[in-house]
Amino acid sequence: MAYLQLKNITKKFPGCLAVDNLSLDIEEGEFLVLLGPSGCGKTTTLRIVAGLEIQTKGNVILDGVDVSNVPPERRNIAMVFQNLALYPHMTVFDNIAFCLKNMRTPLSEIENKVQEVSKKLEIDHLLNRLPDQLSGGQQQRVALARALVRSPKVFLLDEPLASLDAKLRTAMRSEFKLLHKSLVEEAGRVSGTFIYVTHDQVEALVLGTRIAVLNKGKIEQIDTPSNLYRNPRNIFTATFVGSPEMNLIEGSLQRVDDAVVFNFGKLSVETGLKGKIILGKARAETMPVILGIRPEFVHPVSLETNGAIRGEIITIEPIGTMNLTIFKVDRLVLTSLISPDLPLKVGENVGLQLKPEAMHLFHPQTEENLMREK
C-alpha cells in the first residue's frame, strides 16, 4: 500500500468545483510535484492533504491510517506556505521551536533539535534575528527548518519559490533537491516525502521524482519528468510542459504507398509511420489529426532538401544558448530552437524539416496522444 493515498477526493466550493474525483498514490520518499495553471485545484488538493480544507467527498490515508477527519496538527504533516507565514514578532529560534514548545518537549531537547535543523539548513547563525531582518532566501530556510524540526511524515510545500526573484529561485531549487536527497538517504526518523505545488513547469521538471499535471481539478497525467516530456498523454500536458511550447499543427494523415504523410494546408511531411499501424483499421484514406512537435526538433535545412517545407523567418529571439526562431509556414506559425551560430536573418526563407521520431499525433477532439505507449 502506498504511503499516502488520496482516494476520490472531490472539493466543491460555492460556485466552482475545485477538485474533481482525484485519486493519487504517493510512495514514501517521493518528491511529488502538483503542477498546473492557476485555479486548477493543486493548492486546494495540498490543503486537503494538510487538513486545512475538508474534502466534500473522498478520503486521505496516511501510512495506513485514514486521516480524513483528523485535525491538521495531529496528522504529523508539516507545511511551508506560499507567503512563508513566519511569526513576525518571534526570533528565528522561537519560530522554529514554537511547535516543539507546544508539544511540551523538554528544553534541552528543543535546543538540540533546533540547533541540528538550523545547522543542516545553514541558518544557525541567524537564530536571534527577527524575520524581517532576513533575506528572502533565509526566510525560506527558516520556514523549512520550522517544518523539518517536527520530523513530519510528509512535507507540503505551496509554491514556496513564487515570491523569490529569478536568480534566487534557481539557487533555492537546487537546495530543495539536495535537501530531499539528504532526507531520503538519511536512515531513520525523517521520511523525505515531499508534495510540492507549483505552476512553473521548469521547477517541476527539475525537482520532481514524479509530476502530477492537474487541470480543472483533474489529473491529466502522472509520470516521471522525462516521460512527461517525451510522452505527453494529451495536448494539455504536451503544451504545458516544456518551454518553449510545443508546436501544434492541424491536418490529416494520409497513406501514400507504405508510408504515412501528414498533410496540412498545401504542405506535406513524412511521418515515418507504417501505414498499417495507424490507419490500418480505418477505412478512410485520410484521418484528421493534430501534429505536435517540440521546437528543438524543427530543424532548418536548405530549401532544396527533400521533404523540407518552406518557412519565412518572422523573428529571432536570443535566449542564451539557443535562438528562438519563429517561422511563418503557409498560414501557420512554427517555433524552432536554432543554434545561434547559423547565419539566419529576419525575412529569410529557409527550409524546415520536422524530425519524424519526435512527432506526436493528437486526436482532434479528445486531444489524446495517439501514439503513446500504454
Q: Between 86 and 334, whose beta carbon lies closer to other proteins?
A: 86
Nearer to other proteins, 52 or 202 (CB): 52
Among 16, 65, 103, 303, binds other proteins (CB under 8 A): 103
Identity of the residue, 112 or 339, whose beta carbon is nearer to other proteins in the bound complex? 112
Closer of 114 and 354 to other proteins (Cβ): 114
CB of 356 to other proteins, least distance (A): 50
The grid cell for 210 is 514524479
Interactions with other proteins, residue window 152-181 (CB under 8 A): none
* Min CB(91)–other proteins separation in Å: 5
Question: Which residue, 260, 234, 336, is CA-closest to 293?
Answer: 336
Contact pick of 54, 65, 178, 346 for other proteins (by CB under 8 A): 54
Where does residue 220 rank: exposed (0-12), middle (13-18), buried (19+ CB within 10 A)?
buried
CB of 163 to other proteins, least distance (A): 12
Distance of closest approach, residue 51 Cβ to other proteins, in angstroms: 7
Minimum Å gap between C-beta 175 and other proteins is 21
How far apart are the C-alpha atoms of 288 and 364, rounded to whole Å? 7
For the CB of residue 251, give the shortest distance to other proteins in the complex, in Å.
Answer: 49
CB of 147 to other proteins, least distance (A): 9
Cα–chain center distance at 250: 26
Going by C-alpha positions, the residue among 204, 212, 210 that lies closest to residue 176 is 204
Size of the site for other proteins (CB under 8 A): 38
What distance in Å separates the CA atoms of residue 203 and residue 35, rounded to the nearest whole number? 9
Nearer to other proteins, 40 or 127 (CB): 127
3-state DSSP call for residue 223? strand
How many Cβ atoms from other residues are within 10 Å of residue 106's Cβ?
Answer: 9
Does 109 participate in binding other proteins (rule CB under 8 A)?
no
Q: Using the rule CB under 8 A, is 42 a contact of other proteins?
A: no
Burial call 235-257: b when 16+ CB within 10 Å, e when fewer: bbbbebbbebebbbbebbbbbee
The CB density around residue 183, as the number of other CB atoms within 10 Å, is: 19
Q: Quote the least distance from Cβ 12 to other proteins, whole Å.
A: 16
Distance CA 70, CA 63 (A): 14
Residues contacting 371, CB < 8 A, separation 6+: 359, 360, 361
Kindly state whether residue 57 participates in binding other proteins, applying the rule CB under 8 A. no
Contact with other proteins (CB under 8 A) among 4, 35, 127, 184 = 127
Which residues are registered as beta bridge partners of 289?
251
Which residues have CB under 8 Å from 309's CB, separation 6+?
A: 267, 269, 329, 330, 351, 352, 353, 354
Nearer to other proteins, 55 or 254 (CB): 55
Q: Is 133 within 8 Å of 86 (Cβ atoms)?
A: no
User: Which residue stretch of 125-133, 177-185, 268-276, 291-299 sits at the interface with other proteins (rule: CB under 8 A)?
Assistant: 125-133
Question: What is the sign, positive or negative, of the torsion defined by CA atoms of 262, 268, 271, 277?
Answer: positive
Binding mask 62-101 for other proteins (x = CB under 8 A): -------xxxxxx--xxx-xxx-xxxxx-x-xx--xxx-x
C-beta of 189 vs 374, nearer to other proteins: 189
Q: Of the candidates 287, 271, 296, which has an alpha carbon nearest to the alpha carbon of residue 360?
A: 271
Selected from 4, 24, 49, 50, the binder of other proteins by CB under 8 A is 50
Stretch binding other proteins (CB under 8 A), from 30-38, 102-110, 232-240, 259-267? 102-110
Give me the residues that bind other proteins (CB under 8 A), please.
50-52, 54, 69-74, 77-79, 81-83, 85-89, 91, 93-94, 97-99, 101-103, 107, 110-111, 127-128, 130, 146, 150
